């Protein structure tokens, strides 16, 4: 009886202990690629970290850089962050600060695993790398983390079965094979990440670790756009705000022949271009992240600790 009470107490305590408290987090430190880079505006407008900072009243410290793979997070983003903390230009209270990483799209994508351009690497390497980001920051004193998994890239125009030559790829390809393989890479990478994070979490004493399910959120936006998109054009999850068709083998630095949605029509789209989410999709991500951090809902996040 006492044993059972103790077990229920411990279970209750661990449930309570998972995740930061509402209002605890004041600073948002973001790492990643073009999906998170606030300067390149890969969505054609404002990026999710800026919306999330507004929504959640966080001070934003952005480190993500367009084109990044996980290895470039280690080669440039983390060193910049560590330089700034070492020279005193960045002082963040670990308790009030949450660190996010959204990475993988370039590792698995068109210039990565999909086309065999990262010699010797597999989805296991890139996933282990992403999970190691968390360990390295923990070792430096960070305590609150959100790991954003990969979206269902097979739904992006670049990787769709009926894809066309575009700014990311104009060479001959079998779009069916790309669609099948990119789905394998994103779903298996996400599954490996979850297992690795679940086993890492109990070893990082005093940390709060959340897995943000971007994959499920984007799959839901794709399946049920009426819940998320509010533009004045017909809802469109297969096309893009800025869709540009190229000739086969044409230089990817050409402009292509573009169809552009303008004004309020843009908020009807899931994708901004053939690879990047639209501004409205970014608003959805931002609200979901802010709500997760402030513990308003657990809909898209699982706190492992």
Ligand X SMILES: *[C@@H]1O[C@H](CO)[C@@H](O)[C@H](O)[C@H]1NC(C)=O
Which residue's beta carbon is nearest to the bound ligand X? 239
Backbone φ and ψ for 236, nearest 5 degrees, come out as -145, 105
Q: Rounded to an integer, what distance in angstroms lies between the CA atom of residue 125 and that of residue 151?
A: 19
Give the residue, chosen from 105, 236, 278, 290, that forms a contact with ligand X under the rule CB under 6 A: 236
Number of residues that bind ligand X (CB under 6 A): 28
Give the residue, chosen from 8, 14, 76, 80, that forms a contact with ligand X under the rule CB under 6 A: 80
Give the residue, chosen from 39, 54, 93, 177, that forms a contact with ligand X under the rule CB under 6 A: 177
Question: Which whole-number Å values give the CA distances from 191 to 53, 188, 198, 274, in the listed order?
Answer: 29, 5, 11, 25
Query: What is the distance, to the nearest Å, from the Cα of residue 256 to the centroid of all Cα atoms in its chain?
Result: 28
Residue 176 interacts with ligand X (CB under 6 A)?
A: yes
Q: Rounded to an integer, what distance in angstroms lies between the CA atom of residue 105 and that of residue 218?
A: 14
Q: Rounded to an integer, what distance in angstroms lies between the CA atom of residue 175 and that of residue 171?
A: 11
Q: Rounded to an integer, what distance in angstroms lies between the CA atom of residue 90 and that of residue 229?
A: 37
Return the axis-axis angle of helices 48-56 and 279-293, rounded to nearest 10°. Answer: 40
**Minimal distance, residue 262 CB to ligand X, in Å:** 12
Residue 125 interacts with ligand X (CB under 6 A)?
A: yes
Residue 49-78 contact track with ligand X, rule CB under 6 A, x = bound: --------x---------------------
The footprint of ligand X on residues 183-212 (CB under 6 A) is: none
**Minimal distance, residue 145 CB to ligand X, in Å:** 20
**Minimal distance, residue 6 CB to ligand X, in Å:** 39
The footprint of ligand X on residues 6-45 (CB under 6 A) is: 26
Choice between 212 and 229, CB closer to ligand X: 229
Residue 252 interacts with ligand X (CB under 6 A)?
A: no
| DSSP symbols for 196-262 | HHHHHGGGSTT-EEEEE-HHHHHHHHHH-GGGT---SSPPBSSS-TEEEE--TT--TTS--EEEE--
Give the residue, chosen from 1, 2, 5, 89, that forms a contact with ligand X under the rule CB under 6 A: 89
**Minimal distance, residue 17 CB to ligand X, in Å:** 24
Give the residue, chosen from 210, 231, 256, 277, that forms a contact with ligand X under the rule CB under 6 A: 231
| Core vs surface per residue 27-41: b (16+ CB within 10 A) or e | bbbbbbbbbbbbeeb
Interaction site with ligand X (CB under 6 A): 26, 57, 80, 83-84, 87, 89, 120-121, 125, 172, 174, 176-177, 230-231, 234, 236, 239-240, 243, 248-249, 259, 264, 267, 280, 283
């Amino acid at each position: 009886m006492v044993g059972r009470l103790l077990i229920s107490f411990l279970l209750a305590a661990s449930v309570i202990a998972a995740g930061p408290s509402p209002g605890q987090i004041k600073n948002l430190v973001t790492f990643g690629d073009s999906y998170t880079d606030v300067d390149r505006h890969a969505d054609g407008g404002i990026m999710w970290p800026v919306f999330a900072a507004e929504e959640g009243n966080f001070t934003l410290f952005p480190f993500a850089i367009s084109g990044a793979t996980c290895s470039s997070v280690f080669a440039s983003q983390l060193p910049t962050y560590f330089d700034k903390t070492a020279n005193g230009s960045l002082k963040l209270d670990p308790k009030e600060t949450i660190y996010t990483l959204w990475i993988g799209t370039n590792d698995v994508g068109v210039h990565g695993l999909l086309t065999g351009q990262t010699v010797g690497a597999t989805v296991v390497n890139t996933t282990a790398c992403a999970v190691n980001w968390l360990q390295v920051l923990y070792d430096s004193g960070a305590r609150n983390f959100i790991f954003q998994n990969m979206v269902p890239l097979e739904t992006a125009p670049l990787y769709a079965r009926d894809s066309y030559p575009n700014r990311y790829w104009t060479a001959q390809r079998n779009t069916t094979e790309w669609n099948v393989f990119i789905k394998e890479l994103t779903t298996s990478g996400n599954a490996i990440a979850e297992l690795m994070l679940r086993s890492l979490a109990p070893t990082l004493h005093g940390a709060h670790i959340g897995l943000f399910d971007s994959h499920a959120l984007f799959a839901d936006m794709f399946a049920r756009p009426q819940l998320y998109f509010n533009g004045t054009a017909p809802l469109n999850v297969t096309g893009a705000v800025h869709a540009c068709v190229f000739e086969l083998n044409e230089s990817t630095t050409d402009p292509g022949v573009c169809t552009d949605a303008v004004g309020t029509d843009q908020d009807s789209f899931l994708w901004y271009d053939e690879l990047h989410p639209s501004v409205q999709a970014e608003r959805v991500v931002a609200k979901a992240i802010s709500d997760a951090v402030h513990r308003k809902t657990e809909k898209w996040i699982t706190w492992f600790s």
